[in-house]
Amino acid sequence: MSNTAESTAKRPLRVAIVGAGPAGVYAADILTKSNEVKDGDFEVSIDLFEAYPAPYGLIRYGVAPDHPRIKGIVNALHKVLDRGDIRFLGNVTYGRDLTLHDFRAFYDAVIFSTGAIKDADMDIPGIDLAGSFGAADFVSWYDGHPDVPRNWPLDAKEIAVIGNGNVALDVARMLVKHADELLVTEIPDNVYQGLKNSPVTDVHVFGRRGPAQVKFTPLELRELSHARDVDIVLYPEDFEFDEASDDAIRSNNQTKTMVNTMTNWLVEEHAEAEQPSSRRLHLHFLHSPVEIYDDGGSGKVAGIKFERMQLDGTGNVKGTGEFIDYPVQAVYRAIGYHGSALDELEYDAKRGVIPNEGGRVLDADGNPVPGIYTTGWIKRGPVGLIGHTKGDALETIGFLLEDRFTLPPAQNPDPQAIIDLLEERGIEYTTWEGWNRLNAHEAALGASWTESAASDGVVRERIKVVPREEMIKISRA
**At how many degrees (to 10) do helices 135-142 and 189-196 cross?**
120
Rounded-to-integer distance, Cα 146 and Cα 466, Å: 5
Backbone angles phi, psi at 364, to 5 degrees: -60, -25
Cβ(115)–Cβ(21) below 8 Å:
yes
How open is the CA angle 334-332-19, to the nearest 5 degrees? 50
Indicate the SS3 state at residue 119: strand
DSSP-derived pairing of the beta strands 44-49 and 356-357: unpaired
Q: State how far the Cα of 323 lies from the Cα of 307, in Å rounded to an integer.
A: 4
Helix axes 22-32, 70-82, angle to 10 degrees: 40
- Rounded Cα distance between 179 and 176, Å, is 9
304 Cα distance to chain centroid: 27
At 230, the amino acid letter reads: V
Cβ–Cβ under 8 Å, residues 106 and 418: yes
DSSP-assigned letters across all residues of 40-75: TS--EEEEEE-SSSSS-THHHHSS-TT-TTHHHHHH
CA distance 378 to 113: 6
Q: How far apart are CA 349 and CA 347, in angstroms?
A: 6
Q: What are phi and psi of 107, to 5 degrees?
A: -135, 150
Inter-residue contact 111 to 400 (CB < 8 Å)? yes
- Tally of residues, the chain: 477
The full DSSP string for 245-289 is HHHHHHH-HHHHHHHHHHHHHHHHTGGG-SS--SEEEEEE-SEEE
Amino acid at 134: G
DSSP 307-321: EEEEE-SSS-EEEEE
The DSSP 8-state label assigned to residue 354 in this structure reads -
Whether 28 and 13 have beta carbons less than 8 Å apart is answered as no
Which residues, 6+ apart, have CB-to-CB distance to 199 below 8 Å? 154, 155, 156, 157
Residue by residue, pLDDT tens for the chain (477 residues) are 456 656 666 899 999 999 999 999 999 999 999 999 999 999 999 999 999 999 999 899 988 998 867 778 899 999 999 999 999 999 999 999 999 999 999 999 999 999 988 888 899 999 999 999 999 999 999 999 999 999 999 999 999 999 999 899 999 999 999 999 999 999 999 999 999 999 999 999 999 999 999 998 888 888 888 889 999 999 999 998 999 999 999 999 999 999 999 999 998 864 455 678 999 999 999 999 999 999 988 999 999 999 999 999 998 999 999 999 999 999 999 998 899 999 999 999 999 999 999 999 999 999 999 999 999 999 998 876 677 788 899 999 999 999 999 999 999 999 999 999 999 999 999 999 999 999 999 999 999 999 997 888 899 989 999 999 999 999 999
Collapsing DSSP states into helix, strand and coil, what is residue 17? strand
Query: pTM of whole model > 0.75?
Result: yes
